[in-house]
Amino acid sequence: MEAIRAANATLDPQSVAAWLVQQADSWVYAPCWAVVAHDMNGQLAVMAERGLLPSLGPSLWSAANWVVLNGVEFLTSDHESDPRSADGAAGSVIGFPLRCRQRTIGALVGIDPAPSRTVPVLGPALTLSLRTMLEPPAIALDNALAVQKAEALSVTDDLTRLYNSRFLNQVLRRETKRAVRSNRPLALLFIDLDGFKQVNDTHGHLAGSKTLVEVATILRGGARETDVVARYGGDEFALVLPETGREGALAVASRIRERLSNWRFLASLGVSVHLTASIGIATLPDVAASTEELIRAADQAMYRVKAAGKDGVQVAQE
């Protein structure tokens, strides 16, 4: 009952996993405990850990992968000589499957970097008890991951995996309030691809979709960690640059324009497509005092680039 109440007290996957790590450490002492589960991309990732040193990484992943694949407990006194281990694994390890709805969603792994003189043994009754104890946290973790994935999908563009326009508007309103309150600058970039319609007309809509995915990759590479990159709609994109003034925004826009211009799109399909972009920049508080004014100014600056011959950057003026 304690496990059911505590594990379901939150819908944050990391919090559920952290609770499980804490409980495991109180049940059986080990220098390292970790919860590994499939993330939103379907890849195994560490959800929570205690005492996980870089040197223990091979042991953790070797045991976790084995447990998830086989769905049963993993017990070894010397991981280095265990035939189930991967290169670099060592020490004594215990691993428990986190099973939910007839599938293994992750693993709870305990590691001691030193090998043990005896193989850890769990009797049938204790194994059954542990499986029963771990099922509620596994269900809670699976539910939390499902909610996290649903929330991510609600703000993500299906094709490019960038943020969508709905999330962009939310971020802009939040960042605008923060910029005004803290008296810090905020910049918005509007990016429109030049001649994208010709890609669809010449190579088909599948090629056009692939081109947009490649554009998204370039935009991510040209943005900073603090920037928000979104697909505004069609072949229009936007970047929100917190705490960035006119000069900083101009540098980011110029870098993106150059990378797009130098990229050869659809090379994997055996063709070479050249695209350019028209980019409009608006900054707060220079030319706007609200979210709506910032969007309007960036959009107008972008259309001035279009009118001037495309493939350029224009900063909105007061």
Rounded CA-CA distance 169/190 in Å is: 13
**What is the dihedral sign for C-alpha 111, 16, 43, 169?**
negative
Helix (H, G, I), strand (E, B) or coil at 95: strand
- In the chain, the domains with their CATH numbers are 2-153 (3.30.450.40), 165-315 (3.30.70.270)
The mean pLDDT value for 177-195 works out to 94
Rounded CA-CA distance 187/2 in Å is: 49
Of 37, 34, 42, 41, the closest CA to residue 59 belongs to 34
- For the chain, give the percent of residues with pLDDT over 70: 98
β-pairing, 312-315 vs 236-242, is unpaired
Confidence of residue 2 (pLDDT cuts 50, 70, 90): confident
The mean pLDDT value for 111-119 works out to 91
In the set 235, 286, 299, 311, the catalytic residue is 235
What is the pLDDT at residue 215? 96
For 75, the enclosing helix (H) or strand (E) is strand 74-76
pLDDT above 80: residue 242: yes
What is the pLDDT at residue 273? 93
- Tens digit of each residue's pLDDT (9 = 90 or more) over 23-38: 998 888 899 999 999 8
Query: Is-catalytic flag, 235?
Result: yes
- Tens digit of each residue's pLDDT (9 = 90 or more) over 267-305: 999 999 999 999 999 999 988 888 999 999 999 999 999
- Tens digit of each residue's pLDDT (9 = 90 or more) over 80-110: 899 998 888 999 999 999 998 889 999 999 9
What is the pLDDT at residue 318? 64
Q: How many Cα atoms occupy the beta-carbon half-sphere of 268 within 13 Å?
A: 5
